[in-house]
Structures are given as structure tokens and as C-alpha cells.
Amino acid sequence: MRDAAFARMDMDGDGYLTEQDRAAMKNQRELQREERRQARKSEIDLDNDGVISREEFMAAENRKLSRLDTDGDGAISKAEAEAAMNERRGRKGGGRKGQE
């Protein structure tokens, strides 16, 4: 496991962690963030005109609320919020240290 972590950080594969590796990792993370931002924007900008209208924004918020409101009662209960947080943690690879 530690070998895999080192290999991910050793961007040029030379067996050393250098400032260049750190910069490459930072660039990679920034590219990944930008890809996620663009994906979210394209999910909201339904007419693909490059801007998000109030209607598109509200529709996206309503879709989010509908996904959270699993029992369909029009409200997000504490249990539904906790379930959503646990699911999100699971997608990101776990919670905080010490939490299961």
C-alpha cells in the first residue's frame, strides 16, 4: 500500500520525490478539479449556451433535493442527510481518520 502511494507521488518514476513531482501532482489535481467543474456545469447548463440561467439553476437544485428526499415527503430528514453524507464519503474513499 505504501509502495503504491509512493509510486503515485513519484510522477516521473525516478524513485525520488522532488519538487517537480509535487508540481506535477498539483497540476494533475487542478486539471481533475477543472474537469469535475466542467462536468457539473454541463449537467446544469441544459441548453449548452455557456451560461446557467435561474431556471437551470433551480432545476438542478430541485434534482439534488429529490435525490436526497428518498421517502418523497418534500423534506430532508436527519436520516436522509446522514445517508447522503455516508454515500458521499464512500465515493471519496472513506471518512475522516478514525471514523468508519
pLDDT band for position 100 (50/70/90)?
A: very low
pLDDT band for position 93 (50/70/90)?
A: low
| Distance between CA atoms of residues 60 and 49, nearest Å | 16
Give the three cell numbers for residue 12: 516521473
Residue ranges covered by each domain of the chain: 1-44, 54-90
The crossing angle, in degrees rounded to 10, of helices 19-44 and 54-68 is 100
User: Residue 70 carries which side chain, given as an amino acid letter?
Assistant: T
Give the three cell numbers for residue 64: 439534488
**Averaged over 21-50, what is the pLDDT?**
94
Residue 95: pLDDT over 80: no
pLDDT value for 98: 46
The mean pLDDT value of the chain amounts to 88
Dihedral (CA of 15, 20, 22, 25) sign:
negative
pLDDT value for 92: 64
Residue 54: pLDDT over 80: yes
